């Protein structure tokens, strides 16, 4: 695979753009092919089998774009499908969960870590598993926040309804003494300001996107496939709602997104 081949990135919707933004900042030479599965969002309330099927279809599509590596920019798909998909493809494939857990394990001072994510991610207990491997003495408190993804996809990033919903979810983490909170869904950094205003400055918010981009950079370098020429034409695909997606993409990303193509990846 040539080193100027693109990186495939996917999510259920717009959340993965928070990871793309970080990749563009840290490794600007890399060209991105993004797929947002907007016809089937949310992933967070679906079964492991369904998420593996969807992820497999998307990876197959990304491989038709001749990507040299894939980032699963979705915690739910990373939790449920990374291991299976990684055993099926021969290019490097990384998820967002392990990088996020690593930052949280390093950031906590008192060992009390909160994780917020989809029902799938929290129910999988994958963050608990990685965190206890990294530091067996940490206490991990998970809280599923299923209404956050539709609120973000709706664009209600500063709406009073979003603030109210966030207060209710965060109240369940109160009293646990957490000093670190992982935004364990790639949609959540888009409402980081709301979450932060509720939990307060004394709680460190961890966005796994930063560490994921760093991990990608390391993987590309160690495989000798990092791009040494400037990024060319980033491509964005969705399974539905291309126009709405384009508006979002242009508010989130540091580059202009001129075109979003619709594509069906289902069997």
Q: Give the pairing of strands 7-11 and 32-36.
A: parallel
Rounded least distance, CB 103 to ligand DGL, Å? 15
Least distance between ligand DGL and beta carbon 18 (Å): 9
In whole angstroms, what is the distance from residue 35 CA to residue 38 CA? 9
Whole-number Å distance between alpha carbons of 179 and 168: 19
99 binds ligand DGL (CB under 6 A): no
Pairing of strands 204-206, 180-184: parallel
Which CB atom, from 3 or from 143, has the smaller least distance to ligand DGL?
143
Site for ligand DGL contains 124 (CB under 6 A): no
Residue 107, token pair as written in the block: 């950031």
Burial 209-235 (b: 16+ CB within 10 A, else e): bbbbbbbbeebbeeeebbbeeebeebb
Task: Kindly report whether the peptide bond that precedes residue 42 is cis, defined as omega within 30 degrees of 0.
Answer: yes
Candidates 11-19, 57-65, 166-174, 191-199 — which segment interacts with ligand DGL by CB under 6 A?
Answer: 11-19
Q: Is 97 in the site for ligand DGL (CB under 6 A)?
A: no
**Considering only 28-36, 72-80, 157-165, 230-238, which stretch makes contact with ligand DGL by CB under 6 A?**
72-80
Q: Which of 33, 62, 74, 91 binds ligand DGL (CB under 6 A)?
A: 74
Member of 149, 151, 231, 260 binding ligand DGL (CB under 6 A): 149
Note whether 118 binds ligand DGL by CB under 6 A. Answer: yes
DSSP 3-state of 256: coil
Q: Rounded distance, CA 143 to CA 146, Å?
A: 9
Residues 6+ apart with CB under 8 A from 164: none
Out of 74, 81, 115, 145, which one is annotated catalytic?
74
Which two structure tokens, joined as six digits, stand for 99? 């990088």
Beta strands across the sheet bearing 112-117: 139-144, 112-117, 180-184, 204-206
Taking CB atoms, the residue at the shortest distance from ligand DGL is: 44
**Per-residue binder mask for ligand DGL (CB under 6 A), 199-228, x = binder:** ------------------------------
Of 226, 166, 154, 222, the residue nearest 196 (C-alpha): 166
Nearer to ligand DGL, 29 or 50 (CB): 50
- Site map for ligand DGL, 175-204, x if CB under 6 A? ----------xxx-----------------
Rounded CA gap, 150 and 25, in Å?
27
Of positions 36, 42, 95, 142, contacts ligand DGL by CB under 6 A:
42
Closer to ligand DGL at the Cβ: 24 or 190? 190
Q: Is 15 in the site for ligand DGL (CB under 6 A)?
A: yes
- Catalytic annotation on 185? yes
The span from the CA of 56 to the CA of 86, in Å, is 10
CB of 161 to ligand DGL, least distance (A): 18
Give catalytic residue positions: 74, 185
Footprint of ligand DGL on this chain (CB under 6 A)?
11-12, 15, 41-44, 74-76, 118, 121, 149, 185-187
């Amino acid at each position: 695979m040539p080193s100027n081949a693109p990186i495939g990135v996917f999510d259920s919707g717009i959340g993965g753009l928070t990871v793309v933004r970080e990749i563009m900042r840290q490794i600007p030479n890399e060209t991105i092919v993004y797929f947002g599965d907007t016809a089937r969002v949310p992933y967070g309330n679906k079964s492991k089998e369904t998420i593996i099927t969807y992820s497999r279809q998307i990876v197959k599509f990304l491989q038709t774009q001749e990507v040299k590596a894939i980032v699963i920019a979705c915690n739910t798909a990373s939790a449920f499908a990374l291991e299976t998909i990684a055993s099926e493809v021969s290019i490097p494939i990384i998820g967002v969960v392990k990088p996020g857990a690593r930052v949280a394990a390093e950031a906590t001072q008192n060992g009390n870590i909160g994780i917020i994510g989809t029902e799938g991610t929290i129910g999988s207990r994958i963050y608990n598993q990685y965190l206890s491997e990294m530091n067996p003495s940490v206490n991990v408190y998970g809280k599923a926040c299923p209404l956050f993804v539709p609120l973000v996809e709706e664009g209600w990033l500063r709406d009073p309804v979003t603030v109210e919903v966030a207060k209710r979810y965060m109240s369940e983490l109160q009293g646990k003494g957490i000093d670190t909170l992982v935004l364990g869904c790639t949609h959540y950094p888009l409402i980081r300001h709301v979450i932060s205003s509720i939990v307060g400055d004394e709680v460190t918010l961890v966005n796994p996107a930063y560490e994921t981009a760093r991990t990608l950079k390391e993987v590309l370098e160690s495989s000798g496939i990092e791009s040494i020429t400037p990024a060319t034409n980033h491509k964005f695909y969705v399974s539905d709602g291309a126009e709405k997606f384009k508006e979002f993409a242009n508010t989130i990303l540091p580059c202009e997104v001129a075109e979003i193509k619709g594509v069906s990846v289902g069997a």
